[in-house]
Amino acid sequence: MPHPAAAAHEKPVLVLNGPNLDLLGLREPTVYGTDTLAGIEKLCHDTAAGLGLSVDFRQSNHEGVLIDAVHEARTAHRGIVINPAGYTHTSVALRDALAAAELPVIEVHLTNIHRREPFRHHSYVSGVADAVLCGTGAHGYALALTHLDRLTHPAHPRSPR
Ligand code: DHK
């Protein structure tokens, strides 16, 4: 029987992207930059490969689809990196799904949401995330994967929620 940590290590990390992130590169480039979602996906796969991990990279514009993916992650994934995009500021349901997942969760935003409009300052997700990265652009995804690897490594137990 494989060691539990080894079994967890074989599961991919779910990298979940919320609404409008499919338009990255075209969408308000002065705010979100010129990186495309395809470029961020490649960055995630490359970063994961360097850590000995794999990534299941997804994007949806639909809240229920994102919630279903989080439910799936309960058993199928090692942890979750999520950019909830606009749902960050609106979705109690997505927050509840993440809390129920009982997995490490890293919240990522390309922009520094605290330097933007006041309605972006509150995140429903942050209260159930192990860590939050914002304002680091696409690099935040690489940082999130690196931190998720640390959190799920036996020598680095995850921080208390
Ligand atoms: C992306 C969005 O689409 C916005 O709704 C959030 C986030 C910020 C980002 O910075 O990645 O407010």
Cβ 140 vs Cβ 134: under 8 Å: yes
Secondary structure element (H or E) that encloses residue 106, with its range: strand 105-109
From the candidates 87, 109, 141, 147, give the one annotated as an active-site residue. 109
Quickly state the pLDDT bin for 1 (edges 50, 70, 90). Answer: very low
Higher local confidence (pLDDT), 161 or 22: 22
pLDDT tens digits, 74-116: 999 999 999 999 999 999 999 999 999 999 999 999 999 999 9
User: Can you give the pLDDT at residue 159?
Assistant: 54
Quickly state the pLDDT bin for 156 (edges 50, 70, 90). Answer: low
Closest ligand 1 atom to Cα of 21? 3
User: Can you give the pLDDT at residue 5?
Assistant: 47
CB contact burial 129-160 (16+ within 10 A = b; e otherwise):
bbbbbbebbbebbbbbbbbbbebbeeeeebee
Looking at the domain that runs over 4-152, which CATH code has it been given?
3.40.50.9100
**In the structure encoding, which two tokens stand for residue 72, read together?**
């799936």
pLDDT tens digits, 126-139: 999 999 999 999 99
32 catalytic residue (yes or no) = yes
**What mean pLDDT is reported for the chain?**
92
Which residue do the tokens 């689809």 mark? 65
- Residues whose beta carbon lies within 6 Å of some atom of ligand 1: 20, 83, 85-86, 88, 109-111, 113, 120
Mean per-residue pLDDT, 10-27: 96
Q: 31: CA distance to ligand 1 center in Å?
A: 9
Contacts 24+ apart (CB under 8 A), 99-103: 99/128, 100/70, 100/71, 100/74, 101/70, 101/71, 101/73, 101/74, 102/74, 103/73, 103/74, 103/77, 103/78, 103/79
Ligand 1 pocket mutation, candidates 91, 113, 122, 126, criterion most atoms within 8 A of CB: 113
45 catalytic residue (yes or no) = no
pLDDT tens digits, 21-45: 999 999 999 999 999 999 999 999 9
Domain ranges in the chain are: 4-152
Q: What is the pTM of this model?
A: 0.92
Q: 14: CA distance to ligand 1 center in Å?
A: 18
Ligand 1 pocket mutation, candidates 110, 126, 141, criterion most atoms within 8 A of CB: 110
Cβ 70 vs Cβ 98: under 8 Å: yes
